[in-house]
């Protein structure tokens, strides 16, 4: 029996997106299982498939994987995207950590009170990290994060830049190496097929913010109308 690879997550990119890019580079077909309601999340929880009771969940090769950073690394090992030696692995891990910090600002952008505030936060974050990533590419050479071959660090970096570019299209104007790396990655066959496929969710907007709050039964950001609409009233 062939196990279909599945990602269970809100109907959007969020913390599942880096795993989707890693599946794409490995050309592993997958199905998005969108969790759209609290009931769907309860049903998923009741299956016992969530090792730490959190999404995303990646079902692959008969396993249920939790923690997006572990999923990314599993897929990196599977496809040979973890560098060629210890030093590459170390750089991959360091860059993946820095990219996680950098990408968090992009993940929070749709939750901001206005586009102006979102763009401002992204510009500030890029001002800190952009030149450092650019220096790293220059130091390593070949427009790669580490070593002589593409690694998951390059994929994660390109994925985070993709989000920054959606908000600020000219953000890579002064970082030519980052721009080259980005274009190289998005034009790799598996990635480009994924980005142009129906599996790819659109840029997160207020609908995504509402989906997340509804599923988790959490408050919406305070600037949104009726921000407590998904909070259960304990008196009822
Ligand atoms: N470090 C984890 C974070 C997982 C996480 O925070 N998941 C959230 C949704 S994005 C969740 O399931 N929250 C519900 C809960 O923790 O009960 C990862 O990257 O996979």
Ligand 1 close to Cβ of residue 67 (< 6 A): yes
Full-model pTM: 0.97
Residues of the chain with CATH 3.40.30.10: 5-78+193-215
Q: Cα(153)–Cα(88) distance, rounded to whole angstroms?
A: 10
Sheet with 63-65: list strands edge to edge: 30-34, 5-9, 57-60, 63-65
Indicate the Cα dihedral angle 82, 23, 135, 102, nearest 10°: -120
Q: Give pLDDT tens digits for 216-225.
A: 999 999 999 8
Return the CATH fold of 82-189.
Answer: Glutathione S-transferase Yfyf (Class Pi); Chain A, domain 2 (1.20.1050)
Q: What is the pLDDT of residue 235?
A: 53
CATH of range 5-78+193-215; options 1.10.357.20, 1.20.1250.20, 2.40.50.100, 3.40.30.10: 3.40.30.10
Q: Which of 36, 54, 97, 101 to mutate to test the pocket of ligand 1 (most atoms within 8 A of CB)?
A: 54
Torsion over CA: 46, 52, 55, 60 (sign): negative
Q: What is the pLDDT of residues 14-72, one digit of tens each?
A: 999 999 999 999 999 999 999 999 999 999 999 999 999 999 999 999 999 999 999 99
Query: What's the CA gap between 187 and 183, in Å, rounded?
Result: 6
- Collect the ranges in the chain with pLDDT lower than 70: 1-2, 233-236
Q: What's residue 3's pLDDT?
A: 80
Report pLDDT for 236: 46
Q: How many angstroms is it from 231 CA to the middle of ligand 1?
A: 19
Check: CB of residue 199 under 8 Å from CB of residue 30: yes
């Amino acid at each position: 029996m062939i196990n279909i690879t599945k990602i269970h997550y809100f109907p959007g990119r969020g913390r599942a997106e880096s795993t989707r890019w890693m599946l794409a580079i490995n050309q592993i077909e997958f199905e998005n299982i969108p969790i759209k309601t609290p009931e769907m999340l309860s049903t998923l929880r009741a299956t016992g498939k969530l090792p730490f009771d959190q999404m995303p969940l990646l079902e692959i090769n008969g396993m249920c994987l939790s923690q997006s950073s572990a999923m990314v690394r599993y897929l990196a090992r599977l496809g040979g995207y973890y560098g060629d030696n210890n030093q590459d692995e170390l750089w991959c891990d360091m860059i993946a950590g820095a990219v996680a910090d950098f990408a968090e600002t992009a993940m929070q952008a749709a939750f901001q009170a206005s586009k102006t505030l979102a763009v401002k936060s992204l510009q500030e974050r890029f001002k800190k990290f952009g030149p450092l990533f650019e220096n790293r590419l220059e130091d390593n050479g070949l427009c790669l994060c580490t070593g002589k071959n593409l690694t998951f660090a390059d994929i994660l970096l390109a994925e985070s830049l993709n989000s920054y570019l959606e908000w600020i299209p000219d953000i890579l104007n002064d970082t030519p190496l980052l721009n080259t790396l980005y274009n190289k990655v998005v034009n790799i066959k598996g990635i480009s097929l994924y980005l142009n496929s129906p599996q790819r969710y659109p840029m997160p907007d207020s609908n995504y913010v509402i989906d997340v709050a509804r599923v988790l039964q959490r408050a919406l950001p305070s600037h949104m109308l009726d921000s407590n609409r998904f909070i259960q009233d304990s008196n009822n």
